[in-house]
Amino acid sequence: MPIILWTDALVFLLVVCAAAAGRYVSRREYLLSSWRRVGESRAGMSALTVLAVFVLIGLFDSLHYRPRLEAVAGEQANGYSTEVRSVLDTLLLPLKTKTEKTYSAPLATHLYARETVEMPDGGQARVFPRLKHGGIHLPDPAADWAGDVAARILHGVALAVLAWLTFTAAAVQATALHWGMRWRTAWRRIWRGETHFAWNAVLVTLALLLFLAGPLVTLAGGYHVFGTDKVGQDVLYLTLKSIRTGLVIGTITTLAMLPFAVALGIVAGYLGGWVDDVIQYLYTTLNSIPGVLLIAAAVLMMQVVIDTHPDWFATAAQRADARLLALCLILGVTSWTGLCRLLRAETLKLREFEYIQAAQAFGASSLRIMGRHILPNVMHIVLIAVVMDFSGLVLAEAVLSYIGIGVDPSTISFGSMINTARLELAREPVVWWSLVAAFAFMFVLVLAANLFSDAVRDAFDPRLAGRQIAPATQGQAA
Amino acid sequence: MIAYIVRRLLYAIPILIGVNLLTFTLFFVVNTPDDMARMQLGIKRVTPEAVQKWKAERGYDKPLVYNEAADGAGKVTRTIFFEKSVKLFALDFGRADDGRDIGHEIKTRMGPSLAIALPVFLLGLFVTVTFALLLAFFRATYLDFWGVVACVALMSISSLFYIIGGQYLVSKVWHLVPISGYAGGLDATRFLILPVVISVAAGIGSSTRWYRTIFLEEIGKDYVRTARAKGLSELTVLFRHVLKNAMIPILTGVVVVIPLLFMGSLLVESFFGIPGLGSYTIDAINAQDFAVVRSMVFIGSVLYIVGLLLTDLSYTLVDPRVRLQ
C-alpha cells in the first residue's frame, strides 16, 4: 500500500516545479543563456554530477509504502504492516536487516569487543566472536579474507569501468549527433574541453564516483563496508538514509520560505508607505531574535504539541515525518528575513525604472506590475539565495540535532548519527567509522552544493558576470 | 548625536514589545500551561492535582492576560502575561525550574562566555582579514585560486567535525590540554586555548572568502587606479586605501555581533564544559526549562538591537561623511 508522507508530497511537488521551470526556461533563449554559462563551469558541472547522485538516492528514499503482511498459516493475508518502508529500504533490505550485536569495524569478520564464550570442552574463553552476517561466507576468515576482499574490489572496479564506458559512449554519441560530427572528433572535443557543456568534468567526476561506488556495492554484498554502530546497524545503510533528510531540510525549508520572502519583499518595496513600515517591523523583530534561540523556542513548542496529541499520527514514521516537516517550516519562517530585505531593496531600485513607469502610465494594476514586471527581474536574486542557502541548511541540521532541537530521534540523519556517535572517539579502542562516514558524506554533499551554488551565482549575478580580476603584477606594471 | 541615539533607543521599544508578544504567544498560547505541565510530568498517569501543583509552583496558575478575580490594577498585573513577559523589560527573569534565580545565573555565567567569545572574535577577525588581504594581494594567481578552493573546502566541513576532531587529536592523542572543564582566573587559559583555536579555525573559510570579495570589489574602483598611477606600491594601496574603504562593509557584519558575544557559543561551550550562557541555554533546552529559554530570547534581542545601534555609531568613526541626525 503506497503511503505519501507530507515531505514526500512536497519533494515531488518540488520535482514537478523544477521540471516545469526547466521547460519554461528551455523555450526562452534569454533565460537559457545564463544556464549555459552554468553548464560551461567545470567545477559547477562536476558538483552537479555529485548532487544528481545524492538527489537520486533521496528520491528513491521518498517513495514510501507499507508492505503487505505475509499470510500466517491457515489465514488469509489481510492488512498491512505498520512499518513504513521506502523503495531505497527495499533495495538495501539486506543491509537493513542484517544487523549485528554491536560495534564491528569496517569489513570486519569479527565483533569489535571480546565476549565470554563457552568452549566446546566446557571451559570459558574471552574471544572476538564471529559476526552473524559480515563475512559469513568465508570458511576461514584469517586465510580467505584478503583474497575475497581483493576479488570483490576487482569485480566492483570491472563493473564501474563497464558502467562508465556505457555512459561515456552515450554522451559522445549524443554530442556527435547534435553537432553532426564524427565520433572520434566528438570524443576529442569532449576530452579537450572544447564543448560548451563541460562534458569532460561530468565524465571525470562520474568515473571517480563509479570507482568508489562499484567496489562499495560488491563489498556490501558480503560485509559491513563501513562497519556497524553500537546497536549493530550497518553504517552504510544509515549514511544512505541520512541523505534524504539532509536534502529535504535543504529544499523544503527554502520552499517554505520563498512565498513569504518574495511576496513581502516585493510588496514592501513597490507599495512603500505603511505596508512597507509593517513589513519592515515584522522582519526586524524576527531578525532581532538570535536564530538558534528562535528555532529552539519554536521546536520546543512543536514538540509539546506533537507529544500531547499522539492520536494524530497512525505510524511512527508519520510522526517523525511531521516533525521533519515542522522543522523545515520553522527554519523557513526564521530565515526568510534576509532574502526579503534583499528583494525589498531591489524592488525599490526597479520601481524607478522607465519600463515600470510606462506600465503604470498604461494603467496596469499594481498586482500585475509586481507579478509580470518586477518578479521576473528579481528572480536571479531568488535563485542565488536558494542555492546558497542549501548547504548552510544541511550543516545546520547536524548542529540542531546535536543541540536536541533537530529531527525526531527515530529519523536517520547526519545530525542524529553524529549525535549518537559523538562519545565513540573517547572509547578505548576508538570507534571512528560512524563519525567518519557521516562527516565524509556530509562534506561531499555540502562541498558539491557550495561549488554548484558558486557556479550559479557567477552566471546569474549581473555584478559578477563578465568581471575579470586583474592580477596585482599587471596593476603594478601599469 | 545624542538625539539620534535617544531616537534609536525609542525605536527599539516596539521591536522589543514585538519580541515579547512573539515569545508569549509561543510559550503560553500555542501550548497552554496545562499542556506543558502534562508534558513535564509525563503524558500518561497525570492527575489534575499534580498539574495544579506544578503550575502553582511556577506561578502559571493565573489567567493569561486578564484576571477577573483580582481587583484594581491587579486585573492586569496578576496575570501570566504581566508576571512572565512584561517583567522581562525590568530585567526580572524569575526563577528557573530548579528554583535558581535566572538573573543571578546570567550574571555569573557571562564571564566565562565572554572569556571564550572575545578572544575568538578578535583573533578570528585578525586572522581572516589578514588571509583575505593576502589572497587579494595575490589575486588571479595560483595562490589565490587554491586559497579560495581551500576556503570552500573549509566552509563545507561541519563545525561539529572541527570540535570533535580537534578535541580528539589535541586532547586525547597528543595530551596537550585538558579535554574539557573550566577554572577561574589565569588557570582558565589552559582550558580556553583549544576551544578558541577551534572556533577560529571553524570560521576561517567563510569569513576569508567574504572579506576577499569585499576587498576585490574595492580594488576594482577608480581611486585605486589613481593611487597606483601616483606610483604607490601595491602594499600601500592595499593597506592605506583599500582596507580603509572596505571598513564600512566589514563593520556592518562585525559590530552587530559584539554585544552578542555575551551570549557565548552553544556548541563550543557545551562540548568543552565551559559554564557560560551558551551551555546554560543548551541545558535549558534539553531540560525543557522554558523560563530560561524565554529569558535568553529576550536578552538576545536586546543585545542585537544594541549591536545595530553600535554599527551605526561605528560608521561615524570610520567615515567622516556619515552624519547621524
Give B16-73 pLDDT, tens digit per residue. Answer: 999 988 888 888 887 778 777 777 777 667 778 888 887 777 777 777 777 777 777 7
B32 and B171 part of one domain: no
pLDDT at B256 (0 to 100): 86
Cα end-to-end span (Å), chain B: 6
Q: Which residues of A touch B19 (CB under 8 A)?
A: 285, 288-289
- Contact call for residues A209 and A53 (beta carbons, < 8 A): yes
For B300, the closest of A290, A310, A478 (CB atoms) is A290
The neighbouring-strand residues paired with A127 are: A115
- A367-399 in b/e form (b: 16+ CB < 10 A) is eebbeebbbeebebbbbbbbbbbbbbbbbbbbb
When divided into structural domains, chain B yields a total of: 2
For A395, the closest of B152, B158, B301 (CB atoms) is B158
pLDDT at A441 (0 to 100): 95
DSSP designation for A313:
-
Residue B215 lies in a domain: yes
- Contact call for residues A65 and A190 (beta carbons, < 8 A): no
Rg of the Cα trace of chain B?
25
B227 and B308 part of one domain: yes
Domain end (from B43, B59, B90):
B90
Domain end (from B70, B90, B110):
B90
pLDDT at A476 (0 to 100): 37
Residue A346 makes CB contacts below 8 A (sequence gap 6+) with A269, A378, A381
Residue B95 lies in a domain: no
- Cα distances from B136 to residues A454, A469, A472, B254, in angstroms, run 18, 10, 8, 20
Residue B325 lies in a domain: no
| Whole-angstrom distance, CA of residue B227 vs CA of residue B238 | 10
Residue B96 lies in a domain: no
B244 and B305 part of one domain: yes
pLDDT at B2 (0 to 100): 85
A315: left (phi over 0), alpha (psi -120 to 50) or beta: beta
B196 and B305 part of one domain: yes
Q: Is the peptide bond before B48 cis (omega within 30 degrees of 0)?
A: no
Domain end (from B90, B119, B137):
B90
The neighbouring-strand residues paired with A110 are: A130
Closest to A17 (Cα-Cα) out of A9, A27, A5: A9
| Whole-angstrom distance, CA of residue B116 vs CA of residue B279 | 12
| Whole-angstrom distance, CA of residue B303 vs CA of residue B252 | 15
Q: Best residue in B26, B113, B161, B289 to probe A by mutation, most A CBs within 10 Å?
A: B161
Kindly report the nearest CA distance between residue A312 and chain B, in angstroms: 15
Residue B19 lies in a domain: yes
Round the average pLDDT of chain B to a whole number and report it. 86
Residue B323 lies in a domain: no
| Whole-angstrom distance, CA of residue B247 vs CA of residue B250 | 5
User: Which CATH number does the domain housing residue B275 bear?
Assistant: 1.10.3720.10
Backbone angles phi, psi at A221, to 5 degrees: -65, -30
- Contact call for residues B275 and B183 (beta carbons, < 8 A): no
B159 and B49 part of one domain: no
B34 and B134 part of one domain: no
What is the span of the domain harbouring residue B171?
A: 102-318
What would the pLDDT profile of B203-228 be if each residue is shown by its tens digit? 999 999 999 999 998 888 899 999 99
Q: Best residue in B39, B285, B302 to probe A by mutation, most A CBs within 10 Å?
A: B285
Contact assignment for B27 to A467 by CB distance below 8 Å: no
- Contact call for residues A271 and A350 (beta carbons, < 8 A): no
| Whole-angstrom distance, CA of residue A53 vs CA of residue A208 | 12
B182 and B293 part of one domain: yes
B202 and B274 part of one domain: yes
- Cα distances from B121 to residues A71, B200, B267, B279, in angstroms, run 65, 8, 16, 18
B234 and B271 part of one domain: yes
Residue B71 lies in a domain: yes
**A69 vs B136, which has greater pLDDT?**
B136
B227 and B267 part of one domain: yes
Backbone angles phi, psi at A104, to 5 degrees: -145, 145
| Residue A59: alpha-carbon gap to chain centroid | 10
Per-residue confidence of chain A (478 residues) as pLDDT tens digits? 788 888 889 999 999 999 999 999 888 888 888 888 888 888 999 999 999 999 999 999 998 888 877 666 555 556 677 778 888 888 888 888 888 888 888 888 888 878 777 777 777 777 788 888 888 888 888 888 888 899 999 999 999 999 999 999 998 888 888 888 888 888 888 888 888 888 889 999 999 999 999 999 998 888 888 988 888 889 999 999 999 999 999 999 988 889 889 999 999 999 988 999 999 999 889 888 888 888 888 888 888 888 777 788 877 888 888 889 999 999 988 888 889 999 999 999 998 899 999 999 999 999 999 999 999 889 889 998 888 889 999 999 999 988 888 888 888 999 999 988 888 887 878 888 999 999 999 999 999 999 999 999 888 887 665 455 555 544 333 3
DSSP designation for A102:
S
B111 and B67 part of one domain: no
| Whole-angstrom distance, CA of residue A69 vs CA of residue A77 | 7
pLDDT at A123 (0 to 100): 76
Of A143-152, B183-192, B270-279, B296-305, minimum mean pLDDT range: B183-192
Q: Would you state the cell numbers that stand for residue B145, as one nine-digit string?
A: 585560486
B231 and B165 part of one domain: yes
